[in-house]
Chains A and B, each alone.
Chain A
Amino acid sequence: MRRSYWFLPALVVLLMGATGSAQAQSFKTESGHAAFTSSVPLHTFTGLSDHLVGRIDLGEATVDFFLDLTTLDTGIGKRDKDMRETLETDRFPFAEFFGTLEGFDLASSAAQPVRVRGAFKLHGVSREVEIEETLQRTDSGLKVDAAWSVNLEDYDIVPPRLLIVKVDEVQQVRIEALLPPENR
Chain B
Amino acid sequence: MLLLRNLTVPALALCLSAGAVAQMPRDRADPGGPVDEVFWAPTVILTSSVTNLPQGNLNVTILHAFGIATDGVETLFGLDGSANIRFGIDYGVFDRLSVGIGRSRFDKLYDARFKANLLRQTKDDRIPVEVALKGDVGITTLANGFAFADRLSYFASLLVARKVTDRLSLQVSPMVSHFNTVFIERGAGDEILEEENDHIAVGLAGRFVLSRRVAILAEYLPVLGNRSDGTADVFSVGLDLETGGHVFQLFFTSSQWLTEQHALACNADDFFAGDFRFGFNVNRVFSLGR
A78 to B248: give the CA distance in the assembly, Å. Answer: 13
User: Which of B12, B15, B18, B54 meets A77, CB within 8 Å?
Assistant: B54
- Tell me whether A15 is interfacial, beta carbon within 8 Å: yes
Residues from chain A with a CB closer than 8 A to the CB of B212 are: 85
Whether the pair B37, A8 counts as a contact (CB closer than 8 A) is no
B149 within 8 A of A: no
Contacts of A70 in B (CB 8 A): 28-30, 33
A19 to B4, CA, bound (A): 23
Does B145 interact with chain A (Cβ within 8 Å)?
A: no
Option from B1, B11, B19, B247 in Cβ contact (under 8 Å) with A78? B247
Interface string of A55-90 (1 = CB under 8 A from B): 101001010101010110011111111101100000
Return B76 CB to nearest CB of chain A, in Å.
27
The number of chain B residues touching the other chain, given as a range, is: 35 or more
Q: Name the one of A15, A160, A163 contacting B246, with C-beta atoms under 8 angstroms.
A: A163
List residues of chain A with CB within 8 A of the CB of B26. 66, 93-94, 96
Complex Cα spacing A2 to B239, Å: 85
Of the four ranges (under 10, 10 to 19, 20 to 34, 35 or more), the interface on chain A belongs to 35 or more
B29 to A78, Cβ gap below 8 A?
no
Closest residue of chain A to B290 (Cβ to Cβ) is A75
Tell whether B72 is near chain A: CB-to-CB under 8 Å: no
Of B112-120, B132-140, B189-197, B281-289, the segment with at least 4 beta carbons within 8 Å of chain A is B281-289
* Complex alpha-carbon distance, A55 and B21, angstroms: 12
Q: Which residues of A contact B244 (CB under 8 A)?
A: 76, 78-79, 82, 160-163
Bound-state CA distance A161–B16 (Å) is 50
The reply to whether B23 and A15 contact each other, CB–CB distance below 8 Å, is: no
B289–A75 CB distance below 8 A: yes
CB-CB under 8 A from A57, the residues of chain B are 21
Nearest to A98 among chain B residues (CB) is B23
Find out whether the CB atom of B15 lies under 8 angstroms from the CB atom of A12. Answer: yes
Contact A60 B21, beta carbon cutoff 8 Å:
yes
Inter-subunit contact B243/A163 (CB<8 Å): yes
Q: Within 8 Å of chain A (Cβ to Cβ): is B225?
A: no
Given known A68-B28, A70-B30, contact A84–B36 (CB-CB < 8 A): yes
Chain A residues contacting B30 (CB-CB under 8 Å) are: 68, 70-71
- Looking at A57, A77, A81, the one whose CB has the most chain B CB atoms below 10 A away is A77
B19 touches A76 (CB 8 A): no
Do A78 and B15 touch across chains, with their CB atoms under 8 A apart? no
Q: Is A22 an interface residue (CB 8 A)?
A: yes
Using CB atoms, name the residue of chain B closest to A18.
B19
- Bound complex: CA of A57 vs CA of B176, how far in Å? 62
CB-CB under 8 A from A115, the residues of chain B are none
Contact B8 A8 (CB under 8 A): yes
Tell me how far the C-beta of B6 lies from the nearest C-beta in chain A, rounded to whole angstroms. Answer: 12
- B287 contacts A75, C-beta separation under 8 Å: yes
Which residues of B sit under 8 angstroms from A74, Cβ to Cβ?
287
Write out, one digit per residue, whether chain A residues 162-182 have a CB within 8 A of any chain B CB (1) or not (0): 110000000000000000000
Whether A19 contacts B36 by the Cβ 8 Å rule is no
Smallest CB separation, A55 vs chain B (Å): 6
Does A107 count as interface, using CB distance less than 8 angstroms? no
Which residues does chain B contribute within 8 Å of A62, judged by CB atoms?
21
Residue B63 at the chain A interface, CB threshold 8 Å: no
Given A5-B8, A15-B16, A19-B15: A51 and B21 interface contact (C-beta under 8 Å) = no
Residues of A within 8 A of B23 (CB): 64, 98
Q: Which of A5, A12, A66, A85 contacts B24 (CB 8 A)?
A: A66
Binding site for B on A (CB under 8 A): 3, 5, 8, 11-12, 15-16, 18-19, 22, 28, 51, 53, 55, 57, 60, 62, 64, 66, 68, 70-71, 74-82, 84-85, 93-94, 96, 98, 160-163
Instruction: List 6 interface pairs A-B (beta carbons < 8 Å), by A numbering.
Output: A15-B19, A75-B56, A78-B285, A162-B245, A163-B243, A163-B244
* Residues in chain B within 8 A of chain A (CB atoms): 1, 4-5, 8, 11-12, 15-16, 18-19, 21, 23-24, 26-30, 33, 36-37, 40, 53-54, 56-57, 212, 242-247, 285-287, 289-290
- Excluding A5-B1, A78-B247, A82-B243, 20 further A-B contacts by CB distance (< 8 Å) are A8-B4, A8-B12, A12-B12, A12-B15, A15-B12, A15-B16, A19-B18, A22-B19, A28-B24, A51-B29, A64-B23, A70-B33, A74-B287, A75-B287, A76-B244, A78-B245, A79-B244, A79-B285, A162-B245, A163-B246
